[in-house]
Every structure is written in C-alpha cells, then in structure tokens.
Structure 1
Amino acid sequence: MNDKVRPIDVTTVQERVYQELRNALFQGRFMPGEVLTIRALAAALGTSPMPVREAIQRLVTENALTQLPNRTFQVTALTLENYDEWIRLRCEVEGYAAQRAALRAPACVCSELRKINKTFERAVEAGDSVGMLQGNQHFHFAVYEAAESDALLKMIGSLWLRFGPVLSFVQNVSGSTEMFRRGATVHERVVAAIERRDAKEARFALALDIRAASSWFRLHHFGSAGASQPQPAPRQGRH
C-alpha cells in the first residue's frame, strides 16, 4: 500500500491555517476581545481541529490571542493605556522599513505598489470595507517586504497581530471611507519617495500614514477618552 499513496503533509495544512488566522487578525476580521473556539474555527476553515489547535497555540505565544479557562480563546485587546506606545513603535519600526525600501527596492517595486494602491482606492470608492482593510494591509506589507529584512518583517508582523483587530471598527463606523481615502493619498507619497530613493521622506510619509489613521481609530475605538490622548510624532522628514 505504501507504493500507492503518499503521506499527507500535515504541516502544510497547519501553516495554511496559521496564515489564514494571522491575516484575519491583520485585516481586522476579528474584534478585540472576541471569543474564539477551536471547533467553530475548524468548521469555518473546513479542517479538523488539530491544525487549528496548533495555529492558535502559536498565536497565543505571539500574544495575539489569550487562552481562557474554559478552553476558549480571546482576541487580545489593545487598551487605551498602551495604544500610544504601540503607535510610536509602529511609526519607528515601519517607518524604518520604508526607509530601507527606498534604499534597496528595485524600480519595478514602485509600479507594483501603485497597482496595489489603485486596487485599494477602488475598494475605498466602492465603500468596500473588507477590500479597504485587505488593500491597506497588502500595500503596507509590500513596502516592508521591499526592505529585504526578515527581522523587520517578523517585528512588524508581531505589531500588526496585536493592532490589527482595532481595524475591525472600520466596518461599523461611518467616516472610515474618507479616512482611507486620505490614506491612499499618503500611500502615493510613500511610493514617490521610494521612487526618488528619498529614504528620509519615505520614512516620514509611512509614519504619517500610521499617525493620521491612529487619531481616527483612537476616537472611534476608545471614544472621548481616547480623543484626548497626545498624538505620537514621527521623525521629521522633508515635506
């Protein structure tokens, strides 16, 4: 019988499940504090519980999920107290990735980034909240991959796992379309800086995109208490 069938690569299934759950967190498909069960996720993903269990344990280790006493799991919430700290970290780390991309990315990267941003803009104009979240993530990570640093990608991934669920509020709050429309404009500024090899401006523009969106999310996620928080300032660059 061994010569008739080949063993199934279970690790491939586990990795695909992990990547799907990871992307769902990145794109705000789960709410902060939302409770998840292995059985429900396995049914939604069309897999057995085993790869889901393995993926969830990885996400618990990465502090994206918290294990509860009743064998359920909760999406880790981002509190008002540490919100500003995470924004500052994102501005620094992701801004640095944009800086590296400006110095290292081949010319073809800019045309690809513009295609991604055009797709993002179409989702914005269509009012497609899911498309907006996917397009925003796609653009950002295309920039970060152009930085050619596995260490940076790992750090940024960790930041997005914690921060991504905050984006879920985009689907329930009016005004998000205009916020993302402004984001598409800033994205073009990032691309133009990379195209010119202007590392300082690329870093500034990427941090500006994060900072501008953070004020909107702070107000709508945390309410009036969050609106009074100071804005994190990115490194200054050429305007």
Structure 2
Amino acid sequence: MGIMEHNPASSEQPDDALSGRMGRIVRLTLADTVYRDLKEILLSGRAAPGERFTLRGLATAIGTSPMPVREAVSRLAAENALEVLPNRAVRVPLMPRVRFEELRLIRIQLEGLAATTAAANATEEDIAEVARFERLFAAEREKRKPDGAAAMRYNKDLHFALYRAARLPTLLQMIEGLWLQIGPVLNLDFQAGPDRVRQGEAHVHHEALVAALKAHDPDAARAALVSDIWSAGDFILSRGILPD
C-alpha cells in the first residue's frame, strides 16, 4: 500500500517537470524563429539605420507574444545588430562613417578569403547557385523600375551562396556577424532609387565573380568580390549621410 500511495506523487512530479520543460522548449523554439526572421531582415538590408520599432509592434507584426520577441532582440543587441532604448523601443544602430570604413576593410579580408576558397573548391552545384542569383539580380536591374528591396535580397543571396561554397563554417559565421551590422547600411545603396540599381556597378562585379568561379580562379574571384564591396562602399560614403 505504501508503494501504491507513493506512486501517484512520484508520477505527478515528473509530469509537472516535463510540462515545464516543454513550455521552455516551445518558447525557445519560437524565439529562435523570431531571431531568424529578424536577422534575415537585417542581413538583406530591409531595415535602414536609425529605424525604430517597439517590442509590442514587432510582436503584433509577427503574430506572437512579446516574450520571444524580447529574447530575439536581446540576442541581436548582443551582436551589435540592434539597440534597445530606455523606452523599450528598438532601433537599428546608426553607422558612423569611421566605423563603416573599418568594417569595409575587415569585410574585404574575410569575404575575400571566402571568395578565394570558394573559387578553388566550388562544386558545379555551388557555382549554379551563385549564377542563379546573379541572373535574378541582372533581371531585376533590367526592369524599367527595378525594385531596390528585391535587388538587395538577390545581392545578399548571391554573396552568401558564394560564402557557403567556401565550406568554412567559422568564417561564414564571422561574415554573417559583419553583415548583421552592415546590412542595414546597404539599404542606403540599393534603396537610393531605381536609377542606382540600373546604373550601379554591382552587376559587372557579379558577372566577373561567376566567371571566376567557373574558371576556378581564386585571384579573379577575390578581385571581383573586393571591387564589389569597395564600389558599393564608395557610393554610400559619397552620399554624405553617415554620421561623423
């Protein structure tokens, strides 16, 4: 009888503990999903420097409770991708000119290494993936009124298809961290207007990059990638809208 009396208590406790753990799993999984979605917005330049949100507004837009949004925002703030302001607002950080120039130099080294390695090791499938985004970008550029947001997305997808082809996970993670900070600033390039998408040099560098991959030419791949980063940076700096 003692055993029978003890069993309900012992079985009830694990059920309660399991229920608690399941609740945490669901919450964390949802927070991971929100984090991934917010990260994609930043990486693809769909949010501009200085743009503000509220936790409640983000939660409403995403269709979830504030808790997973708060967790995702905290992670992104720790990665210098977002700022949490005293009034619970969330802001995409402003990018001082000197910091932009510093990040550009770092990007050239890290992303240049990825391009070099990818050119040496890329498979036919890797090259086809980069070429697919190059064609999508080119097709958007040829439109009478190109969509700057679409151009930014194809540009980001092309770059990361290239970086994944290097098969250096740690390097890819480092590059992603840089893009979380630099992505919103690229908004100042492609969103400058349809003429910028049509008249910019990005398509030239993209074509050269695909050609270098097909030829498995590491030096040419790095040169095309560096030219792409440098020319986009020069245009953004020329606009004179980054704070000193």
TM-score (norm. length: structure 2):
0.83
Q: Is residue 192 of structure 2 the alignment partner of residue 175 of structure 1? A: no
TM-score (norm. length: structure 1):
0.85
- CA distances 1:52-85 after superposition (whole Å, capped 9, x unpaired): 1111000000011112111222111110122211
1:163 corresponds, among 164, 182, 205, to: 182
Q: Is residue 230 of structure 2 the alignment partner of residue 184 of structure 1? A: no
SS at match of 2:239: helix
Alpha-carbon offset, residue 171 of structure 1: 2.3
Q: How does 1:98-177 map to 2 (within 5 A)?
A: 98-126=115-143, 127-169=146-188, 170-173=190-193, 175-177=195-197
Alpha-carbon offset, residue 89 of structure 1: 0.9
Distance 1:94 1:199 in 2: 12
Q: Is residue 87 of structure 2 the alignment partner of residue 67 of structure 1? A: no
- Letter of the 2:147 counterpart: D
Identical columns (%): 37
Distance 2:47 2:212 in 1: 33
Alpha-carbon offset, residue 172 of structure 1: 4.3
Indicate the structure (1 or 2) with the bigger Cα radius of gyration: 2
Distance 1:140 1:38 in 2: 30
SS at match of 2:186: helix
Distance 1:40 1:168 in 2: 22
CA contact (8 A) 2:142 2:198 kept: no
- CA distances 1:7-40 after superposition (whole Å, capped 9, x unpaired): 7733332222111111111122212112221111
User: Match of 1:234?
Assistant: none
- Letter of the 2:195 counterpart: G
User: Match of 1:24?
Assistant: 41
Alpha-carbon offset, residue 179 of structure 1: 4.6
Distance 1:147 1:138 in 2: 15
- Structure 1: 5+ residue runs without aligned partners? 227-239
More helix by share: 2
- CA distances 1:171-200 after superposition (whole Å, capped 9, x unpaired): 2445321354x2122112112112222111
- Structure 2: 5+ residue runs without aligned partners? 1-14, 16-21
CA RMSD of aligned residues (A): 2.2
- Letter of the 1:171 counterpart: Q
1:12 corresponds, among 26, 29, 33, to: 29
Distance 2:238 2:193 in 1: 11
Distance 1:50 1:97 in 2: 37
CA contact (8 A) 1:173 1:220 kept: no
- CA distances 1:135-194 after superposition (whole Å, capped 9, x unpaired): 0000000000001011111111111111111122332445321354x2122112112112
- Letter of the 1:177 counterpart: V
CA contact (8 A) 1:66 1:75 kept: yes
2:61 corresponds, among 44, 47, 54, to: 44
Q: Is residue 216 of structure 2 the alignment partner of residue 197 of structure 1? A: yes
Summarize the Cα distance change of 1:34–1:221 in structure 2 as closer, same or farther, 3 Å threshold.
farther
- Letter of the 2:93 counterpart: T
CA contact (8 A) 2:122 2:166 kept: yes
Distance 2:132 2:88 in 1: 43
- Letter of the 2:234 counterpart: S
CA contact (8 A) 1:179 1:213 kept: no
Aligned length: 221
2:75 corresponds, among 39, 58, 65, to: 58
- Letter of the 2:198 counterpart: E
